[in-house]
Amino acid sequence: MKHTIPRGTKDILPSEMPYWHLIESNSKKIFNLYGYQEIRTPIFENTPLFERGIGQDSDIVKKEMYTFIDKGDRSITLRPEGTAPVARSFINNGFHKKSGDSKLYYCGPMFRYERPQAGRYRQFHQIGIENIGTNHPSIDAETIAMAYHLFESIGLTKVKVLINSIGSQTCRPQIESKIKEYIHPVLSSLSEDNQDKVMKNPLRILDSKDPTIQSHLKKFPDIQSLLRPESQAYFKSVLSYLDAQNVPYQVTPTLVRGLDYYTETVFEIISDDLGAQNTICGGGRYNNLIKELGGQDTPAFGFAFGVERMILILEQQNTVSLEQDKSVFIAPIGKEHQNDGFKLANHLRRHGIPCMLDFTKNDLSPLLKKANKTNARFTLISGQNEVNNQTVILKDMKSGNQETIDRNKILETLTERLSYV
């Protein structure tokens, strides 16, 4: 029986790893520049965490979660997103007792039962951050700027920041009432799913792709006009701080995000290279989530992005210079010189130079063919003559040039050559 991979998943092959290394290393570098520390939470959590945190009526909870009953008769869910687990960890581990904000980042697999398409999988990888502890517009703006800074560092060229304010919880009743009032004339013509959204979470209707809803909401008041003065002032300050950091943005009144815990500022970063499904990063402020999960009243702001979608854009742009192979192939000629090959390899490895060996072949021609197959950048050739003279032959596998060098200069020569690769 031939076993196949589950629908909506993919193997990440060695040829793809340079993209992953680029994104992961740049993310950690940028996050460290802004004072963030890594946190790792379990891949599965108790189901009520997501029901309470994301919202019972959200599409994720209703349609997309991988939930099962374990052998202890507990309802367990593979995490569909990273914010709720980090918030849970913040509460469980007493982060609130520490002085200053908690600035945390994470990277790992998430799971949602969605329709697979380009850059979207049922097991996918997210990188995200949570800035927990301060309710101030400067936090919102700095965090959005950090995301923009990160994507620039990775090499994305056609990205745009969309931003909106959905106000505080005190603004919500007026906004929701206005939405219901506008939708009421066409409510009966909507799908059952959209009717349910109107009744339970009308804010979500603003970003609906339903043509009937879009047409009917064309004259809906700018959501900013429905906010309380303090929320309007807060959002104005966020935009001012973004201007100060030279982050370009577009205020988008229909932007609400898909998770129920958001308040005040919400944002997305989109790419023109992804077509209709063009969101690569999203986030916002969530001042009530930690209290909702049983912690103290603690404000927070965060974002996350999908690694697979990021790679899709980088592949389409084809403008990023990926890491070159910097390995060395050791080619001892003759079985009697294999131990000498080990000595060379161990010496180089202990000084941080990757090496490969193959003792199934003893002649130079098959050894060089193997070196080419492994994409080695250089090959060190050592036979009886080289052992007698305490030298090796250094062959550049790209140019084909080779030279004889003293053994005591191998490390120095390779370190210099590999630094220019």
SS3 call for 377 = coil
Is 265 buried (19+), middle (13-18) or exposed (0-12) by CB count in 10 A?
buried
> Looking at residue 261, what is its pLDDT?
82
Sequential DSSP letters for 13-70: -GGGHHHHHHHHHHHHHHHHHTT-EE----SEEEHHHHHHHT-TTSHIIIII-EEEE-
pLDDT digits (tens, 9 = 90+) for 41-77: 999 999 999 999 988 878 899 899 999 999 999 999 9
CATH of the domain spanning 14-168+228-317 = 3.30.930.10
> Looking at residue 276, what is its pLDDT?
58
> Looking at residue 254, what is its pLDDT?
82
What gap in Å lies between CA 269 and CA 175, rounded to an integer? 25
> Looking at residue 226, what is its pLDDT?
85
What gap in Å lies between CA 319 and CA 157, rounded to an integer? 9
Per-10-residue mean pLDDT of the chain, 421 residues long, equals: 93 91 95 97 97 86 95 97 97 88 96 88 97 96 97 87 91 81 76 77 74 74 85 96 96 80 92 73 95 94 95 82 77 91 93 92 91 91 92 93 94 86 54
- Report the mean per-residue pLDDT for the chain: 89
> Looking at residue 1, what is its pLDDT?
86
> Looking at residue 125, what is its pLDDT?
97
Domain residues of the chain, as ranges?
A: 14-168+228-317, 172-222, 328-420
CB 376 within 8 A of CB 327: yes
pLDDT digits (tens, 9 = 90+) for 212-250: 777 777 777 778 888 899 999 999 999 999 999 999 999
Indicate if 328-420 has the same CATH topology as 14-168+228-317.
no
- Name which CATH class applies to 328-420: alpha beta
> Looking at residue 413, what is its pLDDT?
93
> Looking at residue 258, what is its pLDDT?
65
Q: What is the pTM of this model?
A: 0.85
